[in-house]
Amino acid sequence: MISRRALVTSTAAVLLAATVEGCANNPVGKLFKGKSTRGYQGKGTRIPVLTGNGSLDPAPALKGVDFAIPAPQALTSWPVPGGAYDGYTDHIEAGANFQIAWKRKVGAGGSRSSHPTGAPVIADGVIYVMDGRATVSALSESSGETLWRANLETKTRRDKEGYGGGVAYADGLVFVASGYRFVAALDAKSGATKWRTATESPVHGAPTYSAGKVFVSDIVDQFYAFDAQTGAVAWDYQALEEPARVLAAPSAVVSGDVVIAPFASGEVVAMRVSNGAPVWSDTLSFTSRNNALSEIRDIPGRPVVYRGDVFAGSHSGMFGSIQLRDGQRRWDLPITTITTPWPAGDVVYVVDQSGQVICIARESGQIYWKVNLNEGIKKVKKRPVWTSPILASGQLMLANSHGLAVTLNPKTGAKEAEMKLGAPAYVGPIAANGKVYFLTDNAELVAIR
C-alpha cells in the first residue's frame, strides 16, 4: 500500500514539472518526457485553455507622477535569505559598472536529479553556497578562491534526488537545509559538521536564523524551529498540506519577535519566534476556471517585511500587501508570481510569470508602470523565466533562464544594459561589498562589480 505521504511527494514531483510556462523553462521539466502533440491531425481548431491573470494597467492618476527611491547604502554582509537577520536594505550600493569580476564553479549543476535552488549568503568576507547535490562551498569574496568544500549528500535508496534547500550564516556557523531530508550546522572556518538532524520529509526551503533558532519548512508544509547550537527541534507548526508546489527554496522572514512563513497552500503565517504560537494568517490564493495552473497555490518567493507591511505573491495569481501587526490585507493584485518582491521607498517591484516587471505604489497598490521583458517572444518554449529583482546602485537587476542578466531604470522600467551569464539563472541575486552575485543553474557563481 502506498502511504499518503509518499503519494503527496509523488504528486508534487509531477506537478512541479507543469508549473513554469508548461515545463519549457523549468529545469524539472527535463525529468518528464511524453509523446509530442505536434502531429495532431484531429478535426477542429485548437484553442488555448490556459490564459493570463487579467489586465494590470498603469493607473491614469499616476501617469507622469514621480516617486521616491532611497539613496543606495553600502552593505557588508548578506548572512540569511533576504539580507539581514532582522531588517531590510531597500537600495544597495553594488554592481555599479555591471561588469563581470569573476566566475567560479561551485559544484554540481542542473541535471536529472539535481538543481541549485538556494541563493548564496555572505559574512566576514566569505561567500557560502550550496550546489545541486548538497555540497557546500566557502569562497573568498574578493577573488572567488575556494576556501573549503563539504559534501553532505546522502546516498540512500530513498534519497536519490536532493532538490531544494540552501544555506544561512550566524555566529560562526553555516546552517544547511536539504532535499536529502536533513538540517545541519557546519563550522564556518573549516566546513566540519557540528550537528546534523534528520527530517522526515525533504526540506525545500532555505534556512533562516533569529534569536538562536534556525527556521525551515519541508515539502509537507511542516515548519520547524531548530536550536542553532544543538540541532534539537525547539517547536514546529503544521500548515495546510498541499501536494502541488513549485521547485524553489522559499524561506521565512523574521521581524522582531515574529517569523513569517510562506506555504504551498498559499498561506502566509506569522508565528512567535519563541514558541511558534500563531499570530495571524492570510491566504494569497485565487482559483480561475480559465487557468488550471491556478490550482497550484504555492508561494515560492520569500515574503518581504518593509515599513510595517508584508509583501508576498503566489503562483495561483495573487500578490498582496499585509499589515505586519495584525495580518489585515491592505490591497491585492491579480499577479501570478514565483519570485521574491523588492520594495523600495514609495514602490514595490514584482516579476510575474509571463516576464513582466511591475512597479506598484506601495501604499495604494496602484501601478506606476509595467514592462514585458519577453515582448515579441511568441512561442512558450522560447519564453524565458525571470528571477527575483534587486535594486543596486540605481539599477533594477535580474536575470533569466536563457542566461541573460539585464538592468532596468527603476523609475521608468526602460532597459539600460544586458549581459550574458553563460548559463540559465533561476535564483535571485544577492549583493554585498560592492558586488552583485548570480548563481546559475550549472552551479557557477558570477560576481558583478
Instruction: Encode pLDDT of 337-377 as tens digits.
Output: 999 999 999 999 999 999 999 999 999 999 999 999 999 88
- Asked if 301 contacts 248 with a C-beta cutoff of 8 angstroms, the reply is yes
* For residue 34, pLDDT beyond 50: no
Place of cell 575556494: 146
Q: Assess if residue 44 is contained within a domain.
A: no
Give me the CATH number covering residue 401.
2.130.10.10
* pLDDT tens digits for range 194-245: 999 999 999 988 999 999 999 999 989 999 999 999 999 999 999 988 776 6
Q: Assess if residue 37 is contained within a domain.
A: no
Q: Which of 431, 392, 386, 435 is nearest to 410 (CA)?
A: 392
**Res 33: pLDDT:** 36
Distance CA(78)–CA(87), nearest Å, equals 11
Q: What's the whole-model pTM score? A: 0.87
Q: Look up residue 374 and give its amino acid.
A: N
Q: Assess if residue 247 is contained within a domain.
A: yes
Q: Which conformational region is residue 221 in: left (phi greater than 0), alpha (psi within -120 to 50 degrees), or beta?
A: left
Paired with 449 in beta bridges are none
pLDDT band of 150, cuts 50, 70, 90: very high
Q: Assess if residue 47 is contained within a domain.
A: no
* For residue 251, pLDDT beyond 50: yes
**Res 99: pLDDT:** 97
Burial (CB < 10 A; 0-12, 13-18, 19+), residue 327, is middle
Q: Assess if residue 39 is contained within a domain.
A: no
**Res 156: pLDDT:** 72
**Res 217: pLDDT:** 93
- Find the domain containing 157 and state its range: 4-31+52-448
* For residue 8, pLDDT beyond 50: no
**Res 157: pLDDT:** 66
Q: Assess if residue 375 is contained within a domain.
A: yes
* pLDDT tens digits for range 281-305: 999 987 655 555 557 888 999 999 9
| Phi, psi (deg, nearest 5) at residue 335 | -120, 125
**Res 112: pLDDT:** 78
Structurally, how many domains does the chain consist of?
1
Q: Assess if residue 154 is contained within a domain.
A: yes
Q: Kindly state the percentage of the chain with pLDDT values over 70.
A: 84
Q: Which conformational region is residue 87 in: left (phi greater than 0), alpha (psi within -120 to 50 degrees), or beta?
A: left
**Res 380: pLDDT:** 77
CA 300 vs. chain centroid, Å, equals 6
Could you give the 3-state DSSP secondary structure of residue 103? strand
Q: Which conformational region is residue 355 in: left (phi greater than 0), alpha (psi within -120 to 50 degrees), or beta?
A: left
Q: Assess if residue 46 is contained within a domain.
A: no
Distance CA(420)–CA(404), nearest Å, equals 5
**Res 321: pLDDT:** 98
* pLDDT tens digits for range 388-419: 999 999 999 999 999 999 999 999 999 999 99
